[in-house]
Chains A and B, each alone.
Chain A
Amino acid sequence: MRNLRKFVLLVAIVAIALAGCNKGAPAPAGAMKAAGKALTIGLVLVGPYNDQGWSQANYDAVQYVTSKVPGTKMVYIDKANSADRPGTTVSQLAESLMGQGAKFIIFSSDDMSDEAVKFAQAHKDIFVVMSSGSQVWKDGKNYQALPNMVNIMGRMELGKMIGGVAAALTTKTGKIGYLGPLINDETRRLASSVYLGARYAWTNYLKKDPAKLQFKVTWIGFWFNIPGVTSDPTQVADDFFNSGYDVVVSGIDTTEAVTEAVKYAAKGKKVWAVAYDYAKASEVAPNVNLGVPYFNWGPAYVNTAKAAMAGTFVSHFEWNGPDWNKFNDPDSGAVGFNKGGALSPEAAVGVDKFVGELAGGLNLWTGPLSLQDGTELLASGAVATDQQVWYLPQLLKGMQGQSVSK
């Protein structure tokens, strides 16, 4: 009798195990059908794939996926914007990638939001990643139900703060310029994060009067230069250097802040720049380069590709921070900061100290904080919610420059 019971139990266990093997892990609710063992990833880049900035960071990340996830392949189209590819639409370009077998499309620029949504709605069987967007953030302002879309973004606010610290610890004139792209939620919060970091280092490390720190934002109108359409970022960087701003922090996809700093340094001016987006951007121009806050899209793209292959791809929004335990590890963490050659040893100590404080829980998005026009954003001691940071309506008080496009 006992043996029979044991036998029944055994059979039941085996049956369950077999059933488990058959189906794999149960698919979560709303998950898309598994792509299986092979997956072609189509990447749509807004700029050139080798721009040493935003687009290259995405390009390298998908190459990282193909090296880490067996069965994945990459196809891409770069310069996917209507100025570079007149007459085309981004969704049409994405379909061209589908024509090359892509079942998983990454739209890697905020500029592509409308087209990415159009595409996701028209191709419900394709896995869509809309990087830097918030369309499928349930707690966001513009939630749209798109079962085949995932939003991925890195908490670049933290990287930008570190860049701000590097800038503040370096400037001799107390004037920091921010080379901004276009004005939107993302660019406001990133410019403001640089300012928060700079002000923190200025007052807490250098013990200087916050009123003596000048921080100015100039927007060029797009993520990179389009002659005749945007302001020329070269010109904007020059204007900063010519008017006493000795550190220019880049907020655009391309490298003009650093290249112009190199030119001015060659003329004997004491100027520096903080690069943006691309991890290896810290390696260039060691005489002016203070470092680069960069995106490490690889790990998040790996997870999402694996989910698509395994049948666990569920529409969601993710906003990933650095891995403080393994800061700057390419295999973990979405954001990092690489120091540049021009960061002085003392400033480097300050940067490391700041990174340690962030890792220990320091949050500069803590009140009292006011918006540029004086309205209170956070009361004393209040900590900003994700929504307050993501949808920052203006620059912060103390920053110069346009908050809203007029």
Chain B
Amino acid sequence: MAKTRSSNALLQGAAIVLAVLLTTLVLLAAKAPPFAAYANIVLGAVGSWDVAANVLVSWVPLLLVTAGLLITFTAGLWNIGIEGQITLGAIFTTWMLRGLQASGLDPSLIISMSILAGMAGGALWALLAGALKTFGGVNEIFGGLGLNFVASALNLWLIFGPWKRPGVASMSGTVPFAPSLWLPTLTEQSRLSPSALVIALLAIVLVYLLLKGTYFGLRLKAVGKNPNSAYLLGVPTWQHMMISFALCGIFAGLAGAVQVTSVYHRLIPSISSGYGYLGLMVAMLAGFNAAVAAPVALFFAALNVGSIQLPIVLRQDSSLAGVLQGTLVLFVLLMQGVRERLAGKGLPQ
């Protein structure tokens, strides 16, 4: 046992070293000084309270999305449609905000209702992917991808059409909401909303408890490991899949709601910001473990925020953070394969 654990740690360490090596090679190919690049990413992520706060701002939606994805992964589902679910969450939130902004209701009530609407929107879109799989026999990967495109088109249509600014159709999105409808931030200058942070932390704890400590979590795991056996053992399989889609959609919708109420204060074309795809990587890298996912998501958020320094200081493209994130996931998965082979289990299925 101790031996496997240490060899596991060794393999994980090897994965990280390999990922850093490959990224360094990419940096050298781009004629960038690797050490300075890494140093700037670190400084850009933790160099001041402001940038550290920005990392947390980026952590919130990523954590929410990852929390949701852990549920669908546990049920053995590849919820690629997560991007669309974030977008729909943002659209529903905007819709509710627009509807109520002139109502005279208490702003905190309006914000709460809008966030709930966002959660409903995300769940709806996820259930659509689930229904396509359950009743239409469409693999959730393809259904989800298709729904992502539909969500994106719907979003653009709203921004350039019915919800456009007076007389102006602009990529910069809809008219910003009044500051009273923004999720309150720590200070006037800060971008970090403590309530959003608390929501995200609650979400990951909730998912951790749900998957580790409940009967539902156990059954979900059974469905994920082997749906046929689970069915034979009396677990209502498709119902569990649908519930896991809905739960994931709720978290994704919540992420979209946070993007609208606390980050952009309006609906913009790329409102999902790619957090869905990033969340998939976080979940994989974390080995589908909620306790590990939180720090991994924080690390990815830090890479994203820190890499903004690359174009500013080194004139390098900030997509380098994506290279590092991608290679990390690849090598970790690769090392898992190696480990399984070493353990004599043969090739992974």
Taking a contact as CB atoms under 8 Å apart, the answer to whether B170 and A111 are in contact is yes
8 A-B pairs with CB atoms under 8 Å apart are A78-B311, A79-B311, A82-B270, A87-B274, A92-B54, A183-B167, A184-B168, A221-B160
Give Cα distance in the complex from A221 to B164, angstroms.
Answer: 12
User: What is the minimal beta-carbon distance from B188 to any residue of chain A, in angstroms?
Assistant: 7
User: What is the minimal beta-carbon distance from B223 to any residue of chain A, in angstroms?
Assistant: 33
Chain A 363-406, CB-CB to B under 8 Å as 1, else 0, gives 00000000000000000000000000000010000000000111
Max count, chain A CB within 10 A of own CB: residue among B48, B51, B161, B308: B308
CB-CB < 8 A to A290: which residues of B? Answer: none
| Shortest 3 CB-CB contacts between residues of A and residues of B | A405-B169, A87-B273, A86-B273
Taking a contact as CB atoms under 8 Å apart, the answer to whether A122 and B188 are in contact is yes
User: What is the minimal beta-carbon distance from A247 to any residue of chain B, in angstroms?
Assistant: 26
Near A by CB (< 8 A), chain B positions 159-175 give 160-161, 164, 167-172
B12 contacts chain A at the CB level, 8 A cutoff: no
Contact partner of A100 (CB less than 8 A), chosen from B171, B268, B313, is: B313
CB-CB < 8 A to A226: which residues of B? Answer: 171, 269
A93 contacts chain B at the CB level, 8 A cutoff: yes
Q: How many residues of A contact B (CB 8 A)?
A: 40
CB-CB < 8 A to B172: which residues of A? Answer: 111-114
User: What is the minimal beta-carbon distance from B146 to any residue of chain A, in angstroms?
Assistant: 15
Assuming the A-B contacts A99-B48, A229-B156, are A405 and B164 also in contact, with contact meaning beta carbons closer than 8 angstroms in the complex? yes
Near A by CB (< 8 A), chain B positions 258-293 give 263-264, 266, 268-270, 273-275
B98 contacts chain A at the CB level, 8 A cutoff: no
B103 contacts chain A at the CB level, 8 A cutoff: no
Number of A-B contacts (CB under 8 A): 93
CB-CB < 8 A to B308: which residues of A? Answer: 77, 85, 88, 92-93, 96
CB-CB < 8 A to B270: which residues of A? Answer: 82-83, 86
CB-nearest residue of chain B to A88: B308
Taking a contact as CB atoms under 8 Å apart, the answer to whether B167 and A404 are in contact is yes
A123 contacts chain B at the CB level, 8 A cutoff: yes
CB-CB < 8 A to A230: which residues of B? Answer: 171
B189 contacts chain A at the CB level, 8 A cutoff: yes
CB-CB < 8 A to A112: which residues of B? Answer: 172
B312 contacts chain A at the CB level, 8 A cutoff: yes
Taking a contact as CB atoms under 8 Å apart, the answer to whether B312 and A82 are in contact is no
Interface residues of B (CB under 8 A from A): 44, 47-48, 50-51, 54, 58, 152, 156, 160-161, 164, 167-172, 176, 188-189, 191, 263-264, 266, 268-270, 273-275, 304, 308-309, 311-313, 318
A81 contacts chain B at the CB level, 8 A cutoff: yes
Give Cα distance in the complex from A336 to B241, angstroms.
Answer: 64
User: What is the minimal beta-carbon distance from B323 to any residue of chain A, in angstroms?
Assistant: 16
Give Cα distance in the complex from A228 to B150, angstroms.
Answer: 12
CB-CB < 8 A to A77: which residues of B? Answer: 308, 311-312
CB-CB < 8 A to B170: which residues of A? Answer: 111, 182, 184, 222
CB-CB < 8 A to B167: which residues of A? Answer: 183-185, 393, 404-405
Assuming the A-B contacts A86-B273, A96-B308, A229-B156, are A405 and B168 also in contact, with contact meaning beta carbons closer than 8 angstroms in the complex? yes
Taking a contact as CB atoms under 8 Å apart, the answer to whether B264 and A96 are in contact is no
CB-nearest residue of chain B to A393: B167
CB-CB < 8 A to B191: which residues of A? Answer: 89, 92
CB-CB < 8 A to A146: which residues of B? Answer: none
Give Cα distance in the complex from A75 to B308, angstroms.
Answer: 13
CB-CB < 8 A to A93: which residues of B? Answer: 308
A297 contacts chain B at the CB level, 8 A cutoff: no
Give Cα distance in the complex from A77 to B311, angstroms.
Answer: 6
Give Cα distance in the complex from A229 to B4, angstroms.
Answer: 50
A76 contacts chain B at the CB level, 8 A cutoff: yes
Taking a contact as CB atoms under 8 Å apart, the answer to whether B274 and A86 are in contact is yes
CB-nearest residue of chain B to A124: B189
Give Cα distance in the complex from A110 to B193, angstroms.
Answer: 27
CB-CB < 8 A to B50: which residues of A? Answer: 95, 99
CB-nearest residue of chain A to B43: A99
Contact partner of B312 (CB less than 8 A), chosen from A75, A229, A393, is: A75
Assuming the A-B contacts A86-B274, A114-B266, are A183 and B169 also in contact, with contact meaning beta carbons closer than 8 angstroms in the complex? yes
User: What is the minimal beta-carbon distance from A44 to any residue of chain B, in angstroms?
Assistant: 10
User: What is the minimal beta-carbon distance from B214 to any residue of chain A, in angstroms?
Assistant: 33
CB-CB < 8 A to A76: which residues of B? Answer: 312
CB-CB < 8 A to A213: which residues of B? Answer: none
A152 contacts chain B at the CB level, 8 A cutoff: no
CB-CB < 8 A to B264: which residues of A? Answer: 82, 89
Max count, chain A CB within 10 A of own CB: residue among B44, B152, B191, B269: B269
Contact partner of A123 (CB less than 8 A), chosen from B44, B48, B58, B189, is: B189
- Given contacts A75-B312, A226-B171, A405-B169, list 9 more A-B pairs with CB under 8 A: A86-B270, A87-B275, A89-B263, A89-B264, A93-B308, A123-B189, A185-B168, A222-B170, A405-B167
Taking a contact as CB atoms under 8 Å apart, the answer to whether A96 and B169 are in contact is no
CB-nearest residue of chain B to A90: B172
CB-CB < 8 A to B51: which residues of A? Answer: 96, 99
CB-CB < 8 A to A79: which residues of B? Answer: 311
CB-CB < 8 A to B266: which residues of A? Answer: 114
User: What is the minimal beta-carbon distance from A390 to any residue of chain B, in angstroms?
Assistant: 13
Near B by CB (< 8 A), chain A positions 277-324 give none
CB-CB < 8 A to A184: which residues of B? Answer: 167-168, 170
Give Cα distance in the complex from A153 to B108, angstroms.
Answer: 40
CB-CB < 8 A to A404: which residues of B? Answer: 167
Give Cα distance in the complex from A405 to B164, angstroms.
Answer: 8
A97 contacts chain B at the CB level, 8 A cutoff: yes
CB-CB < 8 A to A83: which residues of B? Answer: 171, 269-270
Give Cα distance in the complex from A271 to B168, angstroms.
Answer: 31
Give Cα distance in the complex from A136 to B189, angstroms.
Answer: 21
Give Cα distance in the complex from A182 to B47, angstroms.
Answer: 38
Contact partner of B58 (CB less than 8 A), chosen from A87, A95, A183, A405, is: A87
CB-CB < 8 A to B189: which residues of A? Answer: 122-123
CB-CB < 8 A to B273: which residues of A? Answer: 82, 86-87
